Structure 1
């Protein structure tokens, strides 16, 4: 293996980030990942495959999650060199998963081109699934997220979820590369004056590509869920409180005043404030202020949800509470962020280097009932939790609406807020439910049941996003079966590939 191959793999990884939000050039992913597949087909050892996959991953994550450095250095208080080293180490860890896929592909891939493409897609999907579950999981930048609308592959999300769409995205990338590789000799033969049809013409890859694109586009026309009840008004409040002053006592009154004013000026049946919008323990929050929020919600015979920390200082939870005409209810975040909300065993030394307030939360129950508010059954998820589709569906089909409370001010003016909104689009597609997002600094948005962003506030502005939304009932195949069918398909493809490694085409 030559140096240019490693450099090419790393550059392809970097370029792949443009397939995701905010640029969202979704077809680019098919070409860049296809390029990685092409490179892997030109090495002969598992070690070389691991190096190529790792180089792709290092470029991909180094560019795509560079915002981790912002949280560690700018807001976490870590020295710049240490923050850069920690970010690089984190990206190197994430790169191990494409490295594993690359090594196994080169070592075990079957000979026929269609079989190789299927084998590659299965390996890539399983490596991403593993990344999403190991050590509590980090599925950010799973390739399926690049295929939200208008990508035709978004049509497969209600059936197979992010794992299935990732498998099909990798398959399409490999098939396109097989198609391009097969066409090149044909062009050379024509220039040489040969008129015969080459036996190697990639008819099967061409047919498979057409079926994937047409099938996904057709599935986009299916309504998997149905509207339930009448539309109702919502107000999603974006306070734009800078992270470096959010928890300072001298800014406490200003934070409360900001959200009171936004709620006062934008009456709605359902009002949603961001994660930890009130920077104080609930037990110490001014009672008259909470009563005033409840009164504002009652104007529209509605309810208000806000983020706050509950607990006694020793054990505390990242919580969403409701106030208004419905009985008060709560949701406690269950999937906590490593190093941000809890300290993994053996890493207390690392947390001592950071200046992150309240970084040892107690998780809530894994399965919590939706909040019965504003005439809906609302499934709350807090910030990072919406990365885990298999956990979101625990509240379904009972839930009629998804609501996310976030604070991504930790990552500044980076790619993170736009990428996070794209993740919310995938959750809406998988569940057949609208997703409402109330964030501190962006991106506060209303996502339709079809995965399209219906409205969004500009980041780093103080405003309220208002609109009419709709509850939905019903069950998509993904809600019913979760990731199981996609995982079984991936394992089956690996098994078939192993069995046919030395056999003919199929």
Structure 2
């Protein structure tokens, strides 16, 4: 195949992969596109294989996370040419990881029997690194395509999202090996059936169990437009909107989204706080709090139980450029106009909050993308609550993609996940990853659900990503030894 055609095919395949994720959910598609990628690099040396993987990654991320441009230009105030360039460079960085995986695969030149599992190992190690280096960005890791009803969802509570990604990549490797290396059809079919059956069997296991009484929870979605949220004259509208919603949707636990009121918590009218507090047995609200770090006052992005000084969670995993500025990048503040973009960092491990008779592990905004970071709080918790403000990304795929990520977190951790957001997608998710109910995005409403907390440990809660990472490293070592002997 001519290089131009090969690279064009790789780009298109990468872009098509995004349809495997929400809102489309064609979960088999990333398996097929990864198989196509392996077919394209068959027989290539490491350098052209890396370029092919890089172009595939560009297609994947430009199609899947280009909504970053919305937050930079429309809401961050960056000039459009610069925001487009910044978005492209960001996606170009993300594409380095699939490029490295393909280069390593061709450099090791594994045997036909080892090639599929080596590709799965390299692909998952690349995705794990992408979600770890420089604070990490694991968005659109291939395992996120496998929420229910994908048959691979059963692997998630055991091995996590990266475990499901490993199995999906292994299936892609088997399909590619049948085409490119003439691996026996019977062997390929038996392997695929075994992998699918394993997911189905694991999916039938209930790793955690309900505990305590049934409680009612109301999740409030104020739908305050991001461009208006921080305008002082619009503050009464925000406060009245959430007070009206809280009064219309009382419950045992009432949850307001991230920074529901754009004021430091201590500056909010106490009469308003008391009025909202009266609508629930407990009320949890996203709020900006003030604390002391190294002798100076700092803002924190927090979730605060109204009327409870002892119940607060402060965000630990901050968003680069949105909530803190990385070293050497202070100059970017001149290009962006993001309110309160210099937050303090909460403690890495914070105990669950005692709310409405439940132990609630809170995470804020895109913290729920980092599954392993939620383990410490989730072990003792009976409920998971995420408060978000995804209005920063407008009417884009970011919202359904974020909801799908939350589905996988509930499945990994074996707990209900409750999401209260400003503009969407506000939802309640069962421990098996299925959405109980959700509000339409960009609507002002409340969502009331009845549910129970859950207790017990999934295998992922016990061991995190360690099993799939150790397996991947072991496969890599075997392949390296084979290569050295060969």
- TM-score (normalizing by structure 2): 0.96
C-alpha separation between the residues in 2 aligned to 1:168 and 1:36?
16
Structure 2 counterparts to residues 281-360 of structure 1, below 5 A: 281-297=264-280, 302-311=281-290, 314-323=297-306, 328-360=310-342
Q: Which of 440, 446, 450 does residue 458 from structure 1 map onto? A: 440
2:102 maps to 102
2:398 maps to 416
SS in 2 for 1:413: coil
C-alpha separation between the residues in 1 aligned to 2:188 and 2:322?
45
Deviations 1:432-487 (A, max 9, x none): 10100000000000111110111111000000011111100000110001111110
Q: Residues 152 and 217 of structure 1 are in contact (CA less than 8 Å); yes or no, is this contact kept in structure 2?
A: yes
Change in CA separation of 1:314 and 1:358 when aligned onto 2, cut-off 3 Å: farther
C-alpha separation between the residues in 1 aligned to 2:309 and 2:248?
24
The alpha carbon displacement at 1:314 in A equals: 4.8
2:30 maps to 29
1:191 maps to none
1:91 maps to 91
Q: Residues 71 and 410 of structure 1 are in contact (CA less than 8 Å); yes or no, is this contact kept in structure 2?
A: yes
The alpha carbon displacement at 1:311 in A equals: 1.4
Q: Residues 57 and 95 of structure 1 are in contact (CA less than 8 Å); yes or no, is this contact kept in structure 2?
A: yes
1:237 maps to 220
The alpha carbon displacement at 1:174 in A equals: 1.3
Structure 2 counterparts to residues 182-221 of structure 1, below 5 A: 201-221=184-204
2:453 maps to 471
2:249 maps to 266
Structure 2 residue 68 is matched with structure 1 residue 71: no
- The count of corresponding residues between Structure 1 and Structure 2 is 481
C-alpha separation between the residues in 2 aligned to 1:181 and 1:101?
18
SS in 2 for 1:391: helix
Q: Greater shift after overlay, 160-169 or 440-449?
A: 160-169
SS in 2 for 1:280: coil
2:5 maps to 4
1:127 maps to 126
Deviations 1:183-223 (A, max 9, x none): 7xxxxxxxxxxxxxxxx533322221111101101111100
C-alpha separation between the residues in 1 aligned to 2:184 and 2:302?
58
The alpha carbon displacement at 1:328 in A equals: 4.5
Q: Residues 109 and 120 of structure 1 are in contact (CA less than 8 Å); yes or no, is this contact kept in structure 2?
A: no
C-alpha separation between the residues in 1 aligned to 2:118 and 2:139?
23
CA RMSD of aligned residues (A): 1.5
Change in CA separation of 1:503 and 1:172 when aligned onto 2, cut-off 3 Å: farther
Q: Which of 335, 348, 354 does residue 372 from structure 1 map onto? A: 354
Structure 2 counterparts to residues 152-191 of structure 1, below 5 A: 152-181=151-180
Change in CA separation of 1:53 and 1:401 when aligned onto 2, cut-off 3 Å: same
Structure 2 counterparts to residues 357-436 of structure 1, below 5 A: 357-436=339-418
The alpha carbon displacement at 1:70 in A equals: 0.4
C-alpha separation between the residues in 2 aligned to 1:201 and 1:248?
65
Q: Residues 223 and 423 of structure 2 are in contact (CA less than 8 Å); yes or no, is this contact kept in structure 1?
A: yes
1:188 maps to none
C-alpha separation between the residues in 2 aligned to 1:460 and 1:80?
24
The alpha carbon displacement at 1:23 in A equals: 0.4
SS in 2 for 1:500: helix
Q: State the structure with more CA Rg.
A: 1
The alpha carbon displacement at 1:503 in A equals: 8.2
Change in CA separation of 1:175 and 1:310 when aligned onto 2, cut-off 3 Å: same
1:17 maps to 18
C-alpha separation between the residues in 2 aligned to 1:464 and 1:180?
52
Deviations 1:150-181 (A, max 9, x none): 00111001110112111111111111222355
C-alpha separation between the residues in 1 aligned to 2:268 and 2:109?
60
C-alpha separation between the residues in 2 aligned to 1:77 and 1:463?
29
Q: Greater shift after overlay, 79-88 or 202-211?
A: 202-211
Change in CA separation of 1:182 and 1:96 when aligned onto 2, cut-off 3 Å: closer
SS in 1 for 2:95: helix
Structure 1: any 5+ residue segments left out of the alignment?
184-199
The alpha carbon displacement at 1:323 in A equals: 2.3
Structure 2 counterparts to residues 136-151 of structure 1, below 5 A: 136-151=135-150
1:494 maps to 476
C-alpha separation between the residues in 1 aligned to 2:154 and 2:364?
26
The alpha carbon displacement at 1:327 in A equals: 6.5
SS in 1 for 2:22: coil
Deviations 1:58-111 (A, max 9, x none): 000001001000000100111110010000000000001111111111111312
C-alpha separation between the residues in 1 aligned to 2:287 and 2:213?
30
Structure 2: any 5+ residue segments left out of the alignment?
none
Change in CA separation of 1:119 and 1:150 when aligned onto 2, cut-off 3 Å: same
